[in-house]
Amino acid sequence: MKLTETPLEGLFILEPKVLEDNRGFFMESYNKKKLEDLGISAEFVQDNHSKSIKGAIRGLHFQNPPYEQTKLIRAVAGELLDVVVDIRKQSPTYGQKFAILLSAKNKKQLYVPPGFAHGFVALEDGTEILYKCDQYYNSESEGGLLYSDPDLAIDWKVDLESAVVSDKDKIHPTLSGFESQF
């Protein structure tokens, strides 16, 4: 497994070794020992899997302490733009964003530690995302940032007027109107 650092401390791109031949491919999508060898020691306890239509934006979500989550994210069908925003108050990159294309084809994964708001947009119909979490979901610790915050200026690669967004995601605060617990 190859680990690539991003400009945001603690946020990593992981690329598994993929063996391909005329039958298809094989890869280890998760190997605790190999991740530990790379310095990643999260104990994952829950897998989440969602399927989205093209243009669906989900996020930007996080869980507040003490239920904050580390996530290991990958696309298993289609293609998505995965976006994170650093919400760690003491971080030199507070408020900065990072985006990456994750697809069933490129097989890249994103390792997201606590203190990041996370969201994605499906760029193809039938896009499926699978992500591991090291904390169980807790509805009372849910938090979010507004996906369309003009100060974040996220290029979602879709027209925001026609994007499919939940009512809940349309009312999250902007970064400037948000008090981080991280």
Q: List active site positions.
A: 61, 131
**Residues 72 and 109 sit within 8 Å (Cβ to Cβ):** yes
How do beta strands 71-77 and 12-15 pair?
unpaired
Distance CA 15, CA 1 (A): 6
Residue closest to 102 by CA, chosen among 126, 86, 120: 120
**CA-only gyration radius of the chain, Å:** 16
Contacts of 108 (CB under 8 A, 6+ apart): 13, 14, 15, 74, 100, 101, 102
Q: What angle do CA 180, 181, 182 make, to 5 degrees?
A: 90
